[in-house]
A and B are shown apart, each in its own frame.
Chain A
Amino acid sequence: MLNSFRQSMAWLHTWFGMVLGFVLMAAFFFGALSVFDREIDRWSNPATRFEPQPMPSYDKVLRPAFERMQPTKDAVDAMRPRVNGDMPQRLDTVVSWSAYTTHRDPVLALYAGYEVPNAKDPEEAIWAYGTIDPRDGRVLSNDQLKIGSEFFYPMHYSLTLDWKNLGFWIVGFSALVMLAALVSGVVMHRKIFREFFTFRPDKARLRSVLDLHNLTGVVALPFHFFFAFTGLVIFAGTYYFPVGHTQLHDLHELHAQIEANETGLPHERAGVPAGLASVDDMVAEAQRRWQAKDKAGDVGFLVLQHVGDANGYVSVYRAGTDRIALVGDGIHFKASTGELIREDPPASAVGRVSEFLTGLHLQHFRHWLLRWLYVLGGLAGAVCIATGFVFFVEKRKRQHAQQGSQGARIVDALAVTTVTGMVLAALGILVANRLLPETLPGRGDFERYAFWGTWALAFVHAGLRSAPVAQGRANPAWREQCWAIAMLAVGAVALNWITTGDHLLKTLSAGYWPVAGVDLFLLFGATVAAMTARKLTKNAAIAQPRIDTEPAHV
């Protein structure tokens, strides 16, 4: 059966693509949404619908906010088994306070890590997280789920399966398979250049589906390749080969000490209390130094290490909005005196390649056209996978129908769930976000339930309606779910108008693109879904009479 190289590539492409395509579909679709995660955050949290803010003053805004922070009760309870004895009432010894923002963030994320007395692993810290309005330091409730950055984005890289980092491994393995699928796809495709622009929607179903599969795969091939590859590069360093923390634990400690000696940035507390010089002055000095090197001077990340200790230091990192490479250009100051300890040196050649590759994927840059082109690339990838599923089913369903096999039917129902069902689930969480009361306790959890609930319903619906596939016909769930997408998308836009008063005429005339963009994209999606549904209905109407007469031949 596999007597030629091309045939074995085809086997690999078909089966690996079919099995892991379900995961890749999620990675591509939610990846495309994550390009605008901060904008979706603003759509879903009306209280944050204002302009992006720069890093606020430490003395006026950040310090009081940090001092108010403590780990949640859940975090303290989770820590209990890893401590000898009891957890203290209040955690005072600060390992680090840090604040993070981007050029698209109106709100500021705060992180606080505390030393845990008597922890079984003395290196382990307990963390508190918070979000504030940087204009006045007002705390935003953690119950307000940031749907873009806290849900769609984790769906993209881990499917939100946090248990033993399982999601990271599944998504990473799928990325590896994606690379194999691209290579095998190129080998299988005999006419890459001759059929580069080819899409023949009027040809037989199998041909037109394959055309679209090839077209969306080939024209965005560099995008598909580099995103699967750079995704793996990012994962490899963090999750797959953290040798420093596993096999080489002792060496890791030694390395940390040597690094501390080299950089002058203390690894441990001195145990001697010390004051804090003006952090605002240190930030201004850092910006002056970046300016001198002709680099945009916005602060992206501010870290205070060993707060209140003589070994404390303050690190200021740049928000790298003006280039692809993900660079911090960190500048470090002694906390007690404000004197400069160190400026991060320029990266080595290998380091620069790595910065470029990670930056290419993580997109901290300020370039709206490139962001939209990334969305296009992601959606092209999603279409490529979806047409792959359809081709798989179309190719087999008549044969399976004759043999009485349910294979094509099952794959088709799963494909409906992964393609239209996933879009429905994403719309479900947005609609729930607008319907649930603002002050509902655990609001974010209910939004998550709405997402998974909608998806489960889509799965059940796809399964219940799949019987025609076993007779070699099309599953009506495809067009029905397309109609549902159109309705939910329009519904989400309408609910946004009703609950916040931000209708499109208002957001467009005010030039408030984050909210207007999400609304416009929803309406665009609704239009495409409705057109697809109409086309599928027409196809079914044409196919119907012929199918109806078929039993007479048997």
Chain B
Amino acid sequence: MSESMLSACLLSAAFASAIAGMGWLALSMPVHAQQVWGDVLSPVGARALRWMGASGLLVALALCLAVDHASMASLVWVMTLAASALAIAFALSSRPAWLRGLAPWVRVAKPRPAR
């Protein structure tokens, strides 16, 4: 694999990791869990998601550092975080169900009967 291909793959992985990280952080918040699953998570589940989210962002940083000079990588990382936060926010507002894919082990609450 050429060096530029490898960089592109690593940066794509960094992006994916940052998006997953931001998604998990959002899902650990009661408001967004409600949007995605129609129910809040248990405190333990929420805490696990928060840790996963933070790790996702750190993995993204490590991947950025693997590609570029540290000064460049830090900027790429910060801007990647901004882009993934926007992506998650827009996913939550228009297609919240998509985020279920980030935590498939969580059971979807049954739709409440119409009153």
CB pair B72–A376 under 8 Å, yes or no, is no
Distance of A324 Cα from B22 Cα, bound (Å) = 26
CB distance from A550 to the nearest CB of B (A): 30
The segment from B40-48, B75-83, B106-114 that touches chain A is: B75-83
Indicate whether B89 reaches chain A with its CB closer than 8 angstroms: yes
CB distance from B37 to the nearest CB of A (A): 15
Distance of A322 Cα from B68 Cα, bound (Å) = 9
> What chain A residues lie within 8 Å of B81 (beta carbons)?
219
CB pair B79–A360 under 8 Å, yes or no, is no
> What chain B residues lie within 8 Å of A198 (beta carbons)?
31, 89, 92
Main secondary structure of the interface of B (DSSP, over half): helix
Distance of A323 Cα from B88 Cα, bound (Å) = 30
Q: Which of A196, A356, A376 contacts B83 (CB 8 A)?
A: A376
> What chain B residues lie within 8 Å of A374 (beta carbons)?
79
Interface size on A, residues (CB 8 A): 28
Distance of A356 Cα from B75 Cα, bound (Å) = 11
A201-B93, A323-B71 given; A380·B86 CB < 8 A: yes
CB pair A199–B79 under 8 Å, yes or no, is no
> What chain B residues lie within 8 Å of A365 (beta carbons)?
72
A194-B29, A200-B93, A369-B76 given; A377·B82 CB < 8 A: yes
CB within 8 Å: A-B pair count: 74
CB pair B31–A324 under 8 Å, yes or no, is no
A222-B82, A223-B79 given; A324·B71 CB < 8 A: yes
Distance of A295 Cα from B25 Cα, bound (Å) = 40
Indicate whether B69 reaches chain A with its CB closer than 8 angstroms: yes
A222-B78, A323-B72 given; A196·B92 CB < 8 A: no
> What chain A residues lie within 8 Å of B93 (beta carbons)?
199-201
CB distance from A194 to the nearest CB of B (A): 7
Quick one: closest B residue to A208, CB to CB? Answer: B93
> What chain A residues lie within 8 Å of B72 (beta carbons)?
323-324, 365, 367, 370
A197-B26, A198-B31, A322-B69 given; A370·B89 CB < 8 A: no
Quick one: closest B residue to A367, CB to CB? Answer: B72
> What chain A residues lie within 8 Å of B69 (beta carbons)?
322-324
> What chain B residues lie within 8 Å of A197 (beta carbons)?
22, 25-26, 29, 32, 85, 88-89, 92
Interface size class of B (residues with CB under 8 A): 20 to 34
Most buried by A among B32, B83, B88: B83
Indicate whether B90 reaches chain A with its CB closer than 8 angstroms: yes
Indicate whether B11 reaches chain A with its CB closer than 8 angstroms: yes
Most buried by A among B26, B79, B81, B94: B79
Residue-wise, chain B 20-44 has the 8 Å CB interface mask toward A (1 for contact) of 0010011001011000000000000
CB pair B89–A360 under 8 Å, yes or no, is no
CB pair A373–B79 under 8 Å, yes or no, is yes
CB pair B78–A223 under 8 Å, yes or no, is yes
> What chain B residues lie within 8 Å of A425 (beta carbons)?
none
Residue-wise, chain A 359-390 has the 8 Å CB interface mask toward B (1 for contact) of 01000010101100110110010000000000
Within 8 A of A (CB), among B54-103: 68-69, 71-72, 75-76, 78-83, 85-86, 88-90, 92-94
CB distance from B38 to the nearest CB of A (A): 17
CB pair A370–B79 under 8 Å, yes or no, is yes
CB pair B90–A199 under 8 Å, yes or no, is yes
Q: Which of B31, B78, B89 contacts A215 (CB 8 A)?
A: B89
Within 8 A of B (CB), among A22-59: none
Residue-wise, chain A 206-245 has the 8 Å CB interface mask toward B (1 for contact) of 0000000001100110110000000000000000000000
List of 9 A-B pairs having minimum Cβ-Cβ separation, nearest first? A373-B79, A219-B85, A324-B71, A199-B93, A220-B82, A197-B26, A197-B89, A219-B82, A199-B89
What are 27 contact pairs spanning A and B, CB under 8 A? A194-B31, A196-B25, A196-B89, A197-B22, A197-B29, A197-B92, A198-B92, A199-B89, A199-B90, A200-B93, A215-B89, A219-B86, A222-B82, A324-B69, A324-B75, A360-B75, A365-B72, A367-B72, A367-B76, A369-B76, A370-B72, A373-B76, A373-B79, A373-B83, A376-B82, A376-B83, A377-B82
- Given A219-B86, A374-B79, A380-B82, 7 more A-B residue pairs with CB atoms under 8 Å apart are A201-B94, A219-B82, A222-B78, A324-B69, A324-B72, A373-B79, A376-B82
